[in-house]
Every structure is written in C-alpha cells, then in structure tokens.
Amino acid sequence: MIENIHVAMVNTALRHLAFENKLAIWDLYKAMGGKGSMKEWKKQGMVNNDYIHFLKSGYKLQGELFSGALMDFIGR
C-alpha cells in the first residue's frame, strides 16, 4: 500500500473551510484514527484490497461512528 500523503492536507483544508463558513463537519479521517488508520482497518477486514473502498463491515462501522457523533451533536 502506498500512503496518500495528501490526506492530512485535504483534511486540514476541509476543516478550515467548514470553520470559516460556519458549517458542521464530521471528520471520518479522525473518526477512523487518523494517519495510518486505513492499514489498521484493513487488518480488521473492513477495507478492500485497494485501500480506498470499504467492505460491508467497514461501511457498517462508519455508519455507527457517524450516527453516534450525530446523536452526540444533537444531544441524544
């Protein structure tokens, strides 16, 4: 696997734009564990061999992470 060196830069830019424009943002990069997390998710069987697309278990966990964050945001 070749690490995408631009992920952190794009993440920072998106967070900056969201802050400047007073937009809510959910950070999947951070929720996954940040730098190197795609390798860990692959080890857990949640990422396809292309290291881009998720498998069913990965998408399921993404949904759980997102819904949990949304519920925390709105105050359960």
pLDDT band (50, 70, 90) for residue 74 = very high
Number of other residues whose CB lies within 10 A of the CB of residue 46: 19
d(CA 55, CA 47): 5
The domain segmentation of the chain, as residue ranges, is 7-74
10-69 pLDDT, tens digit per residue, is: 999 999 999 999 999 999 999 999 988 999 999 999 999 999 999 999 999 999 999 999
How much is the pTM? Answer: 0.82
Rg, the chain, Cα only: 14
Query: Based on the number of CB atoms within 10 Å of its own CB, is 39 exposed (0-12), middle (13-18) or buried (19 or more)?
Result: middle
Residue in this structure with the two tokens 């950070």, named with its chain if needed: 27
Taking 90 as the threshold, does the pLDDT of residue 1 lie above it?
A: no
Tens of pLDDT, residues 36-49:
899 999 999 999 99
